[in-house]
Structure 1
Amino acid sequence: MVQLPMIKASPATATAGKKIFGVSLLELRGLGLVKDGVPVVVRSMVEYLEKHGLRLEGLFRVNGSVRTVDNLRQRFDGGEEVDLHQDADACAVASLLKKFLRDLPEGLIHPSIHSPLIQLYQGDEGDFCKDVRELLLQLPDIHYSLLHYLCHFLSQVEQEHAHNRMTATNLATVFGPNVFHMDREEARLSPHAGGKLIRQLLEEDSNPMVSPRFYAYGDGQQYLDDTEVPPSPPNAHSFVSRRRSSSLGSCDDDREELTSAQLSKRIHVLKKKIRRFEEKFEEERKYRPSHSDKAANPEVLRWMNELAKMRKDLKDHKLLKSEEDLTPIPRQRSNTLPKSFGSQLEKKPTETKAPKPPVESTLEAVMNKLQEKRKEAGRPEDVKDMTREQIGAEKVALQKALLYYESIHGRPITKNERQVMKPLYDRYRLIKQILCRASAIPVIGSPSSKRRGPLLQPIIEGVPALFFSDTKEEEDGSDDDNDTRTHMLGLLDQLDEDTDGFISPVDELSPSKNTTDMRLSNLHAATMQELVEQLQEAREEKKRIRKNLRDFEDQFFKQNGRNVQKEDRSPLAGEYNEYKHIKAKLRLLEVLISKRDSSKFI
């Protein structure tokens, strides 16, 4: 177990009963409570926070328990031994550190340089950057040492702002009033001098005390007083034109301003940290860590979450940049949607558009075109006189005709349009149903099998059964056409021609749920052997699709460190939809087989 910071009071302190809080730094040094220019109590608190608080969200902004802070202060002042690991938490120690700085009688910034510092603050920024180091050298040695030590620690806190959300602005907001004690007049003239000084010192991480650069703090951006500081007298601070103080979420704004190169660099750093952890883990345990092994480590889990966020930000940044580089393409209104849903993205002058022809004239032109195609192909007009190939050709012609109509007028939405176009849509729906029902009828016989035995016809529910006493075999194979035509006539008698509705050919171009449902309903007419074959095929298909989906989800988990959500399924949306339908088909097949004598087949 790592030995954590523990303060042991010296015998002199214990016997004399001298306080530690509210005592000047020179007096603490005289009591032997200063080591290397830093009070022992401050060094203990900083070392504790370096181990347990650098990545704590809201460090120095979230106050610790008042009772815990007061108890720690009383124990330090009483000369007791204090184990911060057992008696405190990071928030309480952070509040105690701020209280120590706030209770210094003369403040960390000695009053001797207040006036010159305020004059620099009110002057040019160049003069402030040039002379601030010379002013700090005028501080007493112990004040300068503690300020240097504190700024070095705060620079480490600022480096972890992605986790603790304490940027240089937030740290200046908190520590400005704590290190720079001013009277009412000084506070009125320069309310932000302390915050500006802290931001100046934190600008350079390597040596914050000698930074030649100036990170502008006072340009209209004010800070709120620390929540633990008692309220100032009225009019002590000027709140005119005050802007919102930096909050805990301010680093999100900074993150949004990162460029692609910066995001890529941070992603590389995070991946390098995770890779080092994996290598160390593999050396110790002789196997590579799984995702659960990495998630069990809180620090690695934070790295993984941060990596996922950075990758998402980089992807969004690249997508936004690509959209900005592309020239906008005018969007046209969908021809299959009602006119009331027309797009308003592009409004062209009405005089540039040609007037639409009446619906009746368009229908007449379409019907004439269909009649010409029938004559060219030699197809009869009555569907009952067509063969299956002719019905397929008729469906394609009707589909093209309806697409042409919808490209001009859209789908029929008014009562007049629906009444005018109803015959054409009814014919298209009728032919489509014929093809679907005819394709579901299994072909059990063939010309060669007719010589070996009688042709067994399937018995379809709701369709009159056709039985033949003998089968006549012909050389030209015309029996096949006659059988097909006979099946067509039997099916046409069962179609409900009075059903209202418009089936658009556009709906047929994409996978339709109605088509799938129609195929599933045809399973009721299949034989037992066909049901078993369909069941086996469906199971194989389900295994294939499930394997593809699992590969996709495993790859997604490796890349993003989380499971696939609903919005992440877009690359395989068709596969997921097909998997859902194949499961429904399997359930239906199992129910149908269970209703029959399943012992013969399963």
Structure 2
Amino acid sequence: MKEGVADLVSSSKGFSLSLLRCQESTSLGHSTLPDVVDATPDHAATLIKVEERLRDGRQSDDRPSELSKMTLAQMQDEKTCLQKALLYYESIHGRPNTRDTRELARPLYDRYRQVKRSVSRAQLRAKENVNELAPIFEHVAMDFTLASPQHRSSLTPDSLPTEQLLLCKEKLLQEQRRQSESLRSPDSDDEGQQDCGQEASLSDSSDVSKQSSTLGNLHSLPLHELKERRREAKDQKKKLRKSLRQFEERYEREHGHKLAKENRGSMEQNYLDYKHAKAKLRLLEALIAKKAPTDDEF
């Protein structure tokens, strides 16, 4: 009888000891679980980092944040940057699969979809505009004669191709310059001054013809050369805009008011070059949109 009781007491002590060990191992397992959870990457921190990179990229490329102020090339650059940002985010966290992660990443995905739709619409409009452009043939002489004042009022920007609109603007500016010079110079000027005026007008007309022939030759270029010309035109436009902005800021500091059009002086040619660069860039974007396939997929 005593031996049976002793066996029961020893077995109960062994059971309680094993139960205590199980509880200790369970508590240790629970204590290490938060460390694993804390090691998971933070979605919000990654999205903040992505937004900062996108903001810095817009500032370095001089690209506005509003889509309504972007050109087609700027919208395409914005779309590419957003694609890279989404790929970077998904390479760390994968596609958002919970309600919280979807809410966090929703602004980034919505921004990409909005830019993608805007690019598609802009490319469609550019293709429609290109179909309205009249081709310029190298072997056919172009007529640069100014229209009469009555007919000139009917030549709206919507009814003219890009090249012809640019040429009309250039010819109007040249006519205004010649009229202002003739009003300033007296009738008793010698023949040498008249010859100088004729040479200046001839040089202006030759510059216009060179610009028109340059724009006309763009139609025959392949796609890769058009993209290279677009890159050069963007660089030229950016440099001209920077120099004009610095000139206007310096003028405003010195005179206390903003620069007026009649006070441009020697910088007038730079303004004309800037307008020509913008028109050339618009034409290149239209030609690239016509020849390049539409990018509708991510």
TM-score range, shorter chain: 0.3 to 0.5
Query: Which protein has greater RCO, CA pairs closer than 8 Å, 6+ apart?
Result: 2
* TM-score, with structure 2 as normaliser: 0.35
Largest Rg, 1 or 2: 1
* TM-score, with structure 1 as normaliser: 0.18
